[in-house]
A and B are shown apart, each in its own frame.
Chain A
Amino acid sequence: MAESNSSHNNQYSATEIPADGHQAHPLKVYFVVWGWLFVLSACSYAIDFMGVQGYLRWTLILFFMFVKAGLIVAIFMHIIWERLSLTYAVLLPPIAVLVFVAIMAIESNYTVLTRFIFFAGG
């Protein structure tokens, strides 16, 4: 590695903060993650290809989605190597979206109910 600071500690460690703020990590980590992203995408596609339905389908879709998203954010975007002040600043605000999802799910149920009551004739 050309960076003088990182040449001393190019051992991969999830808790280590790069001394100069540069994200220089061994290539192997990236290749492993890359491979896993391919495998997980193939799994997602297989759900549809094999026609899995119902709750099993939704559970699997969400599971593969979150694992893929987690790998991209954690390794490719280097979040596990950043200090917590940045990690929390970018990962906590989206929780508000989940609240919004809950509100809109309730609202949509009400909307579809009223539609069935008042537009039942078509």
Chain B
Amino acid sequence: MTDTSSAKVTASDNRPKGLSGLVEDWSSDQRAFKNVSWRKAMMWIFLLSDTFIFSIFLLSYMTARMSTKVGWPNASEVFSLHIGHTNFPLLLIAIMTFVLISSSGTMVLAVNYGYRKNRNLTAIMLLVTALLGATFVGMQIFEWTKLISEGVRPWGNPMGAPQFGGIFFMITGFHGTHVSIGVIFLLVMALKVWRGDYDKQTPGYFTSRKGEYECVEIMGLYWHFVDLVWVFIFAFFYLW
């Protein structure tokens, strides 16, 4: 039991690597993820389940779009912005993409500075990540407002197939909720890092497990996943 609860179990040197290592790790009555702590493994399993949720959303989008007789609205036109006299297709979406990628970059920096025990830089990077995430949600609210004012509703819209609105609000709304929850957790984590909880190994409020800088890496996994989902939404919903 001590083996499963410790975050510090190492992959000992004489264990096989590669494919035989895979079989070895899974094939006996033992802990499968040798050098991964319980919290990281659980985050990965949660992310796997979330992968399925978003996959099903995108799949239902594909099914609706492929099976409708009515033409699908042209995303390039629907999401374009007029600046001056020029029409920029998908401009806001492109900016949102860059903002989210930037936030992923600051997140890996936070993880890295965390393992270097650089408390201040870790907290600052987490705050910057949260700020970029909040910016993303802000732009998404702008986009929703614009579309709603143009008459897009979950049950119909002036541009084409009526399923467009429902699928748009469902997918981007679910993703935006993920970003918003991430921002809240990033702020909480920035506060914890700032207070030095992970240096003092202060137990977590809910888990009463020792706080460690690995928590920043696990937060990072969630945040990168949100970025990852956006890559797929950007490709399938906005560009296709």
Binding site for B on A (CB under 8 A): 1-3, 6, 15, 17-25, 27, 30-31, 34, 37-38, 41, 44-45, 47-49, 57-58, 61-62, 64-65, 68-69, 72-73, 76-78, 82-86, 88-90, 93-94, 97, 100-101, 104-105, 107-109, 111-112, 115-116, 119
Contacts and interface: CB of A to CB of B under 8 A. Distances in A.
A88 B21 CA distance: 12
Contacts of B239: 44, 47-48, 57, 61
Contacts of A62: 235
Summarize A's interface: helix, strand, loop or mixed: helix
A119 B69 contact: yes
A30 B37 CA distance: 23
A90 B48 contact: yes
Nearest to A84: B22
B63 interface: yes
Nearest to B55: A97
A72 B227 contact: yes
Contacts of A97: 51-52, 55, 59
Given A83-B34, A101-B59, A119-B69, 14 more contacts: A15-B17, A17-B17, A21-B11, A21-B37, A22-B115, A38-B101, A41-B101, A58-B240, A82-B36, A83-B11, A83-B17, A85-B25, A85-B34, A90-B47
Interface of B: 7-11, 17-19, 21-22, 25-26, 32-37, 41, 44-45, 47-48, 51-52, 55, 59, 62-63, 66-69, 76, 89-90, 94, 97-98, 101, 104-105, 107-109, 111-112, 115-117, 214, 217, 220-221, 224-225, 227-228, 231-232, 234-235, 238-240
A108 B62 contact: yes
Contacts of B11: 17, 19, 21, 83
A112 B71 CA distance: 12
Given A23-B217, A94-B55, A45 B90 contact: yes
Contacts, number: 181
- Nearest first, the 9 A-B pairs at minimum CB distance are A108-B66, A111-B67, A85-B25, A65-B235, A108-B67, A21-B35, A34-B105, A84-B22, A97-B55
A109 B66 contact: yes
A68 B112 contact: no
A83 B10 contact: no
